[in-house]
Structure 1
Amino acid sequence: MNDLQVSGVAKSYGPGTAVLDGLDLTVQGGHLAAVLGPSGCGKTTLLRVIAGFLRADQGTVTIAGRTLAGPGIHLPPERRRIGIVPQEGALFPHLSVARNVAFGLTRTERGARTKRVAEMLDLVGLSGYGNRMPFELSGGQQQRVALARALAPEPHLVLLDEPFSALDSGLRGTVRAEVRAVLQASGATAVLVTHDQQEALSTADAVAVLRDGRVAQCAAPEELYQRPADPWVASFVGDAVFLTGTAEKNTATTILGRIPLVAAPAGLREGLVLLRPEQLHLTDPTTATAEGTVTDVCFFGHDSMVTVTVDGLDQPIDIRAPGPLQVRPGGRIGIRVTGEATLHEVPA
């Protein structure tokens, strides 16, 4: 299998400017992993090191058991069998769609090359588009051609560098789903670099969250969202509600009542209880475990985010509720909690 293994990789751009700091990352063959993190955390540097555009200061990069970078080893990009899909497709404007896809097949016999191009265009749903020029395509179609071009040489790994960022929001979700389906159908191992949390969680088989040049946590999207490693990761991958709580066995006592725990560090009795806004529900005060005053309501169409100042709690909390609501700022409301929470140590 075409597993990617990044071990202890470090990269600096000069004294005091370490970007990657002993980073470790494993991507299982045939899987799509998203690398997610704030600006400056090292996402692009990691991609460039894997691709061979940058030489790592230390550490190793292997794909399918083949060392691409390590002590005394630095294979150039053209020898790494890595396909790259950049942000805006970067198609050659003077070449037809078919010639763009065939660009990396110069050493392939003409008949086999033509067949491979046809296979790739069919795979990305663009059969019959081979004679078109890039300017005749939509943004989403251009990205699919870029993906076909990256997959045509049968690379060991495909790197996607924020490939959907230039698309409008309505098109982005559709193209994202199409690209994921194409990668699954091809069996390719892929790494998606993104700053978009929803994109990472909805697209990838595993999500690696970078912080200060290292992987803070790498897990399946559901695991990452429901069981984050610490409060910082929890807040970065989604909206989070933190309450101080005291744990006893498998529950925690909070100002919102007793909440079952799915995970807690061994020996930790007091800490921060993590809930997601969708776990909090607005209800009649007479049937609630806590009460508060509505301070703000933001309507997003499919749901609303309601900010409530809870009696006895210094900081207001956010509650995600479906659709339009009748509640208004200044109104009194009850709150109840569903589901399980995680307990974390209070950050130093």
Structure 2
Amino acid sequence: MIDVTDVLTIVHITCRYHPRKEKEGNVLNNLSLAVRQQEIVCLLGASGCGKTTLLKAIAGLLPLDDGSIVISGQMMSDSEQAVAPEFRQVGLIFQDYALFPHLTVAENIAFGLYGQPKEAIARSVGEMVALVHLAGLEARYPHELSGGQQQRVAIARALVCNPSVLLLDEPFSNIDNQERDNLINELRIILKQRQVATVFVTHSKEEAFAFADRLAVMDKGAIIQEGFPATLYHRPGSRFVADYLGSSNYLPVKILSDHQWQSFFGDHHSTHPHGLPIGSHCDWLVRPHDIALSLDPDGTARVEDRLFMGTSNHYRISLDEQVIQVQSSTWFEPGQPVRLSIKASQPLFFPSEAGED
């Protein structure tokens, strides 16, 4: 059943490789997703997982073998028919900007308004130029702009037609860091103000965390897990999701009771029952920032390496033939003995990969 509050509804879509392609099988496999008005959903995953293919299907550039795509309550695609891309009320923003090199900033923005009265076009272009902070650059050509400025033109061109859905394919990857951070913040505000339902593709978890309201982690043409960024980071449903969203330590443990388990650090206790069989062996997911370091002359752990990352230090700590990743603002030198303590309020366990003793 389609939720009437959803601007974009994708239901069990499957896209197969063309019969003449070398590859076989499904490039999108029984995939479902819904995006509400004003919501920014990020498709996150490695190259080849199907992110860009899904954008093409939403835009009407790729036929469906099964399932359906509905935009603003109107059927756009199913296995029998498809509405042409130009009639879908979908805006597209690409990694390489895709601007017309022979057109000025103003002419690029106005391209999708062809056929409207000149006064209306001029008014709409002026509003977009102000919105994306390009005032004074209207007469320039793309080659006279920075990467960030070119992407602002592409954003304005996509938004000037008031799309119901905006699709962004790696839009920040060709922009230098400082300008990228500014553009991420500004574009997020613009999309919220204009209440556009947005699907954003990236392989960068940092961009996803900064820009998206909700994440959908993809692998092999399917969504593995979706939800709020903080939920997926702190409570991933699999090792794949945990590792993709951040550095992970997996500590072997033995379950002692509903609230207690044992690792090489000693015994640990949580107020929340974990529901695992008593006596079973599993791996405890511990993020680097959930481990505290302190100098201890009698400690059995040693600092192996330190990377200064600006706001924190990333350490590799050796303990009992295992290397543990730790993030800390405290400065330690390689070779120093240290003590480790772990925050264990809501532990997350995965099946052991080493097997039980």
Assess, with a 3 A threshold, how the Cα gap between structure 1 residues 266 and 254 changes in structure 2: closer, same or farther: closer
Deviation at 1:151, TM superposition (A): 0.6
Deviation at 1:319, TM superposition (A): 0.4
Structure-2 residue corresponding to 1:320: 327
Q: Which of 276, 283, 299 lines up with 1:272 in the alignment?
A: 283
C-alpha contact (below 8 Å) 1:265/1:344 kept by paired residues: no
Same amino acid, percent of matched pairs:
34
Assess, with a 3 A threshold, how the Cα gap between structure 1 residues 235 and 250 changes in structure 2: closer, same or farther: same
Structure 1 residue runs of 5 or longer lacking an equivalent are none
Q: Which of 323, 330, 334 lines up with 2:339 in the alignment?
A: 334
Q: Give distance in 1, aligned partners of 2:71 and 2:229.
A: 23
User: 1:218-257 alignment to 2 at 5 Å?
Assistant: 218-247=226-255, 248-257=257-266
C-alpha contact (below 8 Å) 2:45/2:219 kept by paired residues: yes
Assess, with a 3 A threshold, how the Cα gap between structure 1 residues 185 and 298 changes in structure 2: closer, same or farther: same
Deviation at 1:22, TM superposition (A): 0.8
Structure-2 residue corresponding to 1:147: 155
Assess, with a 3 A threshold, how the Cα gap between structure 1 residues 51 and 286 changes in structure 2: closer, same or farther: same
Assess, with a 3 A threshold, how the Cα gap between structure 1 residues 30 and 251 changes in structure 2: closer, same or farther: farther
3-state SS of 1:67 partner: strand
Assess, with a 3 A threshold, how the Cα gap between structure 1 residues 6 and 264 changes in structure 2: closer, same or farther: farther
Letter paired with 2:302: T
Q: Deviations over 1:22-42 (max 9, x none)?
A: 111122221111101112111
TM-score using structure 2 length: 0.89
Structure-2 residue corresponding to 1:295: 304
Letter paired with 2:294: T
CA RMSD of aligned residues (A): 2.3
3-state SS of 1:102 partner: helix
Deviation at 1:67, TM superposition (A): 1.3
- Aligned pair 1:56/2:60, yes or no? no
- Aligned pair 1:211/2:222, yes or no? no
Q: Give distance in 1, aligned partners of 2:148 and 2:170.
A: 13
Q: Give distance in 2, aligned partners of 1:262 and 1:196.
A: 33
User: 1:68-107 alignment to 2 at 5 Å?
Assistant: 68-107=76-115
Deviation at 1:131, TM superposition (A): 2.3
Q: Give distance in 1, aligned partners of 2:132 and 2:119.
A: 20
C-alpha contact (below 8 Å) 2:11/2:32 kept by paired residues: yes
Assess, with a 3 A threshold, how the Cα gap between structure 1 residues 66 and 91 changes in structure 2: closer, same or farther: same
Structure-2 residue corresponding to 1:3: 7
Assess, with a 3 A threshold, how the Cα gap between structure 1 residues 177 and 264 changes in structure 2: closer, same or farther: farther
Deviation at 1:266, TM superposition (A): 6.7
Q: Deviations over 1:64-86 (max 9, x none)?
A: 22111113121111111100001
Q: Deviations over 1:217-260 (max 9, x none)?
A: 11111111011111111011111111123443345432234153
- Aligned pair 1:113/2:121, yes or no? yes
Q: Give distance in 1, aligned partners of 2:303 and 2:114.
A: 65
TM-score using structure 1 length: 0.91
Q: Deviations over 1:268-311 (max 9, x none)?
A: 86422111101111113389xx8412222222232221111113
Q: Give distance in 2, aligned partners of 1:183 and 1:98.
A: 21
Comparing 184-193 and 15-24, the one that deviates more: 15-24
Q: Give distance in 2, aligned partners of 1:263 and 1:182.
A: 43
